Structure formats: C-alpha cells, structure tokens
Structure 1
Amino acid sequence: MPIPREATPVDRSLLRDDVYVRLRDAIVDGTFAPGEQLRDVELAAWLGVSRTPVREALLRLGANGLVVTSPGRSTVVSQIDEKSLRDARDVVAAMHELAVREVAGTLGADDIEAMRAANRRFADAIARGDVAAALQSDDQLHAVPVRALGNAAVEQVLSQFGPVVRRAELARFGVDGLASVERHEQLIALCESGDAAGAASAERDTWRSLPTTIRDD
C-alpha cells in the first residue's frame, strides 16, 4: 500500500503514560496483590500494547517502589513496608502543606469551588462505597492548591511518592471516609479565609492521619 507522505505521528509518550497509569492503579487498588509476579508479555496482551511501553512502565513503578525487579528474575509487586509507607506519607504531607501554605488566600473563586465540588463527589463516592471514585475525587481536591502553586519540583516529588501513599488512602477511605469529608471542608474554609498557617496545619494533619499499615481483610 502507498505510504502517505504526511501523517500525524503516534504520541508514544501518551501511550507510555497510559500504560503506567493503568498498571499503577491496578497495584494501588489491589488488582495485583503484593508479591504477585508481573510478566510483561501477559501485561502487554491485557492492555493491547507492545512489550516496550510495559517494560518502561515497570521501570517507573520500580522507581516509585511499587514493584521490585531482581536481576535475571521476574518483577513482582512490592510488599507494603510500614517504614517505606510512613516515609512516603510524610514527604507527601510536607509537599501538600507547602502548597497550601503558599496559596491560601490567593486561590480564586473558581479554585475554591473546584475543591468544594471535588469534596461533594468525594462524599457521594464514600456514601456509595466506591473507594476508587473517592480516591479520584480526593486527588482532584488536593491537586487544586498544588496546581495553583505551579512548583514543578513539588509536582515531581508528589508524582514519585503519591502512588505509594494511595495504598494507605485505599485502606483509610474504606473505614473513616466521612471523617475525611469534614477534614476537607475545614481545609477549604481555611484556604478561602486566607488562614495560611491554619490551612497548612489542617493539610499536614490530614495526610499524617493516614494509616501506615494495611489491613489484610
């Protein structure tokens, strides 16, 4: 067949990101359990892609601490280590605390409403028992101050350690999600009023309240 002289190239970076997100979320939500072996051939078939983006995604997941690869051996989902989880939680808490402290009182009405809308979706998801949707809404709420800050270094740190912390969030939202709704409302009110110290403290306490052990049931 004749090859067109001009064609829109496939966005390979987008493909890599999509594969990474799918595998990351499957680990976070327990689809792939700790200790489970991950074979790139099977993952590629599952996702309908070649093995290359799967291998690249596994490398990123290794850097995030979600998988472990031994030289000459297979890749497995990492065990949930209490110290690693606590360390990641504290780093994530510090980044979100920094963002809120810097932007409290400067967020626009659209930003505040975006946070409130995310919390409404969060509350609705908790009421339905949809933990995955609750996690997504929680991410959207906390992303507003981070996005407003516009600090690429903060965003990079959260990208690296955030997925580890999501495992703890998955456990927390299955137990006391309603308490998180109240924490969110307090945080939003403090941001809106311009109480930077109070908002930073509320944000820090929210993240540091995450459990560092995961229930087996």
Structure 2
Amino acid sequence: MLTTNAFAGIAALVGDPARASMLVALMDGRALTATELATVAGVTPQTASSHLAKLVAGELLAVERQGRHRYHRVATPAIAQMIESMMAVAATGAIARHRPLRTGPRDVMMRRARTCYDHLAGRVAVGIADRMITRGEIRLGADGGEVTERGTDLLRSLGIEIPRAAGRRGGRAFCRPCLDWSERRPHIAGAVGKALLAHSIDTLWLRPIAGSRAVIVTPLGRDTLTRLFGLAPDIWDDPT
C-alpha cells in the first residue's frame, strides 16, 4: 500500500545528485561496478558504496555477483520507466528552458537512436511507434498498450515471436508506452519493445556503441526501417 513516507523515501533516494548520476548511467541496461559508478558520479569509491547500499536497500537497484565482483543494475523495468519519466519532466523544466543545451555530435546520435533500459528510444523509436499506431498495429494508452492482430502479423513476418507470458502478473509488461525524454512522445517499451531492439541488433539494422546509450543506425537499418515503417526522410536529419 502506498504511503506518503514511502513516496518521500523514494524521492529522497533519487534526489541526491550522485545517486541520480548513477541511476542515469545504468539506464542503458548494463550492470556496473561500484568503482565504475563512483567515476560516473564523481565521488570516492567509499562514498559510492554508501550511496549504492541505500539504492539497493530501497529496491531501486539490484546486485549481481560474479566471482569477486559485484555488479549493480536497475532493479526492474518499472524503476527504469520511473527514471526515464523523471528525465522527461526534468528536460521540460525551467532550467532546461533558460539554459539550453548546446549539443555536440554525440548528443545528435543520442537524440536519433539510443537504448532506454532494454528497448529503443529516440526519434527513430518514436517514428516507429507513430507509424504502428497510425496503421492500427498497436494501441498505446496511459495505462498500457496492446498489439493488434495486424501488429502480430507484422512481428511474425519479421521473425519476432513474443511470449504472452510476458504480460502475466508479476512479469514484464507485454506492451506499454514509455515517454521519450528527448521527443516528449511515447516509444514502445515492455516485451514488445525489448524484442524489437534485440531483433534490430541481431539483423544488423542497429549497432550498439560501447560505453554509450547511443546506437548507430546502419545503412541497411536505415533502408529497412524506412521501408517497413514508412519513416519520414527528415527523421535521419541531424536533430537540433
């Protein structure tokens, strides 16, 4: 049951700048060590360990052990959705309006296509969602999403089969909207979003960049995604 104390506790955990930096760094789906996260947050390893212990205790992060190493990751897709939504809200605030970000080449790539936890985000992802909604292949609402029969046929034609068990109680949402922090419109998350990203990487439409959330859209990917989803030509222009 939700209590105001629990709500305030979560807000306090996320509200520390060092902990916020760690959470954002983990939004590409990787699991990172305390030392790596200390570097991201600009704090000492000892301070990072203290912050991480609080995030784990608050169930925002989970720990995986491999031999002598401990790796931290975002605990659940719901937590990742919360972080992405907060990033979207922060990007529309007074600081963003009065102190515009001067983007460089890396930022351009992030805005075009990037990972959002375990699914695709950015202009390309929003364009795919828009087209699938227009063609009646998915329905996205405030509380969730649905893949129609037409959408199921499209996914199967691409060789994507998504277990319906993903939508069972306690499991990953089958299909849901995720507010894109740079485009401020929804892209596709849940099991469907995860499968689309995995398929795009397996087929070499997308190529991940080590150490970054940005992904490269290959020439094959650009041609194929444009054909499959009727993406507008200007989606490939450098965003400003």
In the superposition, the TM-score normalised over structure 2's length comes to 0.32
TM-score (norm 1): 0.34
Larger relative contact order, structure 1 or 2 (CA cutoff 8 Å, min sep 6): 1
Structure with higher strand content: 2
